[in-house]
Amino acid sequence: MWFDEATVYQIYPLGMCGAMEGEGSRILRVLDWVEHIKALGCDTVLFNPVFDSDWHGYDTKDYFKIDPRLGTEEDFKRVCDALHDNGIRVMLDAVLNHVGRGFWAFQDVRERKWDSQYKDWFHVDFGGNTGYNDGFWYKSWEGHEELVELNIWNDAVVEHQFAAIRSWVERFDIDGLRLDVAYCLPQEYLRRLRGFANGLKPDFVLMGETLHGDYNRWMGDDMCHSVTNYECYKGLWSSLNDMNLFEIGHSLSRQFGPEQWTLYKGRHMLSFLDNHDVERIASKLRDKNQLNAAWGLLFGMPGVPCVYYGSEWGIEGRKSDGDQALRPSIELPESNGLTEFISRLAAARRSSVALKYGAYRNLQIQNKYLVFERERDGERVIVAVNASPETQWAHFDARAGRGVDLISGETHDFGGGSELAPYSVHFWRAE
């Protein structure tokens, strides 16, 4: 499947396009980013919500209408066409568990109460009330009353959602969906959605947002193709901050290692260092010199790497400063040494079947550095990452005398140990 080989670029359009208030064709700002995204090595753009909403996009008002703060349907089609014309696929964020209070069917319930034909679209109790004094109680997402949970056991709700998704494919030729809070969606619903998605277009992908627990609860041949790997997201930054690469090494081995019991062999989960909900990696790391190491681990490990807009040149953003700090307005992309390094990582992964599909095996784990192997179809790539400010010497069985670094193109001799310069990353293809 194409998604297994993808490198994803994530955009939160209401933020990036400076579109939280007012109206206008702001989504067209993305047109000025297409060449940058392509040069970075990303071949898929994931748009967070683009449909009409009360405020932040996850409080949908209308599944069929582009948010007027971003522009018109024609504006968004122009953006999708430009991306497709440059060989970049498009995924949309589907918020299917809940809607905003401004959602048209919920507005009908507020107006007509028990006489509304849409009252069964939600979980409503006319014997209760809410903080909004609606005169009835309704189930909200995790207690946030601005987010009204849908009754997705109701066929009419599901048919409405599926009609909207079909229209997204017909209007914008999208290639897949991110499923917001997929961990809240019942397996029965996910199976129904997968059956529907399989008929939309070849290899239409479903990637679910999941946080904790066994990801196989939501990911499988009849549910989501992929899910977000939050377990390794946490391991990536905390193992660097604590200078304890045993954490991420053991997490990856638990998920993808050679033992029969490991959890996700053969699955391609979305790997990331940050996104619209968490602090930027450049703010999360105590030692900013470790940024190369973090990105090297991301592109070397099993999974589908995702770059969140702006992080490729190291912008910062702290959650304590609010959502706006994580989702800033940026008119034009920038490039620096980090951007160039990430583009070389993306090119290395693109050129290697082992990095895209290979089995995972730890070769040497130390607090300050990690060496692991990816192998597939006769190709072996040894990933070595030094997270420390000191030179390290790694001694491991490379099963080869020499290798070529897919990042730098330089030849490496494994004899006598491998020197790892401070904060260095190597993807050695064994010869």
Where are the chain's structural domains?
2-99+153-357, 110-149, 359-430
Q: What's the pLDDT score for residue 153?
A: 98
**Span 203-214, average pLDDT:** 97
Q: Tell me the average pLDDT of the chain.
A: 98
SS percent in the chain: helix, strand, coil, step 5: 35, 25, 40
Report the alpha-carbon distance of residue 371 to residue 121 in Å, rounded.
52
* Side chain identity, residue 182: A
What is the predicted pLDDT for the residue at 412?
Answer: 98
For the chain, give the longest Cα–Cα distance.
Answer: 80
The pTM of the full predicted model, rounded to 2 decimals, is: 0.98
Fold of domain 359-430: Immunoglobulin-like (2.60.40)
Residue 189: pLDDT band (50, 70, 90) is very high
Give the pLDDT confidence score for residue 241 in this predicted structure: 98
CATH 3.10.580.10, domain 2-99+153-357, yes or no = no
pLDDT grade, residue 380 (50/70/90)?
A: very high
Instruction: Give the pairing type, strands 124-125 and 98-100.
Output: unpaired
Using DSSP's 3-state secondary structure scheme, residue 312 falls into: helix
Interval 220-262: pLDDT, tens: 999 999 999 999 999 999 999 999 999 999 999 999 999 999 9
pLDDT band at 107 (very low <50, low <70, confident <90, very high): very high
The pLDDT score that the predictor gives to residue 111 is 98
Residues 375/385, Cβ–Cβ less than 8 Å: no
Q: How confident is the model at residue 73 (pLDDT cuts 50, 70, 90)?
A: very high
CB neighbours of residue 125 within 10 Å: 10
Average pLDDT over residues 319-348: 98
pLDDT digits (tens, 9 = 90+) for 20-39: 999 999 999 999 999 999 99
% of the chain with per-residue pLDDT over 70:
100
Question: Which of 190, 174, 186, 229 has the alpha carbon at shortest distance from 46?
Answer: 174
- DSSP H or E run through 402: strand 402-405
Q: If you write DSSP's letter for every residue of 61-88 in order, what string do you get? A: S-TTSB-TTT--HHHHHHHHHHHHHTT-
CB 229 within 8 A of CB 303: yes
> Are 255 and 302 spatial neighbours (Cβ–Cβ below 8 Å)?
yes
- Tell me the mean pLDDT in the region 316-337: 97
**Residue 357 banded pLDDT, cuts 50, 70, 90:** very high
**Angle between the N-to-C axes of helices 246-256 and 230-241, in degrees from 0 to 180, rounded to the nearest 10:** 160
Can you tell me whether residue 117 is helix, strand or coil?
coil
* pLDDT band, very low/low/confident/very high, at 381 (cuts 50, 70, 90): very high
**Mean pLDDT value across residues 149-160:** 98
pLDDT at 337: 98
Q: Which residues pair with 117 in a beta bridge?
A: none
Predicted local distance difference test score (pLDDT) of residue 270: 98
- The pLDDT-based confidence of 128 (bands split at 50, 70, 90) is very high
